[in-house]
Amino acid sequence: MTLQFKIYWSFRSPYSYLATARLVAFAAEYDVDAQLRIVRPLAMREPAYFERMGPLHRPYFFMDTKRQADYLGLPFRRPVPDPIQQDPVTLKIAKDQPYIRNISHLGVEACRLGHGLAYADSVSRLLWDGSVDGWDQGDHMAKAAASAGLDHAAMQASIDSDPDWYDSQMLANEAELTEAGHWGVPCYVFEGEPFFGQDRFDTFIWRLRQNGLQKRA
């Protein structure tokens, strides 16, 4: 029996990137239907979060993401440019966010076309593995789409024809995540039960095994 679950995921989340390679490998090996759901970063959903954040939060966050990448054997560096436009000192979030809005729309379109997880894997590597400066320039995004079996130009044309529809899909995904009982990403949801964070991946797999998880034929 194919087990179905949803993954709530953001392009700006380093922990989403750190979880994706394992998700791709897992979905290839096991009889599962892994449905990616793109949400906006917390910086857009709740900008005041950064105003409340304690002084130890960011230093630990930067240390932990690099440490976890090293532990998983994944190359890691924060994206250049940052998909979110944010003052590095005050942490104030800019009103307009063209980078993250468009790249999230592309993720929604990839999901609509049935290639969501592959696209998230390809683009998150482009953003986070440190191999590219200026991921938004040239043909980097087109190559990332092609590696996931998609046509970037066709995807962009679809988005440009009705960007508000893609915004509505992300809002619907965020409402689903809230209904499942969480707000963060990555979050895996199986039969209404949320498992938040790349460090809950093994616990999530344990729950799937309890429900008859099988390898693909």
**Does residue 53 contact residue 91 with C-beta atoms inside 8 Å?**
yes
Which three-class secondary structure state does DSSP give residue 195? strand
> Does residue 217 lie in a domain region?
no
User: Within a 10 A sphere around the Cβ of 83, how many other Cβ atoms?
Assistant: 23
Which three-class secondary structure state does DSSP give residue 191? coil
Residue in the block written with tokens 């938004």: 136
pTM: predicted TM-score of the whole model, two decimal places: 0.95
Residue ranges making up the domain that contains 180: 3-210
Instruction: With a cut of 80, say whether residue 125 has pLDDT above it.
Output: yes
Average pLDDT on 12-32 reads 97
Question: What local confidence, expressed as pLDDT, does residue 199 receive?
Answer: 93
Question: What local confidence, expressed as pLDDT, does residue 89 receive?
Answer: 77
> Number of folded domains in the chain?
1
Choose among 103, 109, 114, 173: nearest CA to 140. 103
* Residue 30 DSSP symbol: B
Tokens read off for 104: 């999230």
Question: What local confidence, expressed as pLDDT, does residue 26 receive?
Answer: 98
Which three-class secondary structure state does DSSP give residue 190? strand
Residue count of the chain, please give it: 217
Choose among 179, 197, 174, 154: nearest CA to 61. 197
> Does residue 215 lie in a domain region?
no
CATH number at residue 106: 3.40.30.10
CA distance 193 to 202: 14
Could you tell me the strand order of the sheet in which 32-38 lies? 32-38, 3-9, 187-190, 193-196
**Segment 146-188, tens digit of pLDDT:** 999 999 999 999 999 999 999 999 999 999 999 999 999 999 9
Choose among 77, 91, 86: nearest CA to 17. 77
Question: What local confidence, expressed as pLDDT, does residue 51 receive?
Answer: 77
Residue 91's pLDDT band, with cuts at 50, 70 and 90, is: confident
> Does residue 216 lie in a domain region?
no
Angle between the N-to-C axes of helices 152-161 and 163-180, in degrees from 0 to 180, rounded to the nearest 10: 90
Residue 52's pLDDT band, with cuts at 50, 70 and 90, is: confident
Which three-class secondary structure state does DSSP give residue 95? coil
> Does residue 131 lie in a domain region?
yes
Question: What local confidence, expressed as pLDDT, does residue 46 receive?
Answer: 86
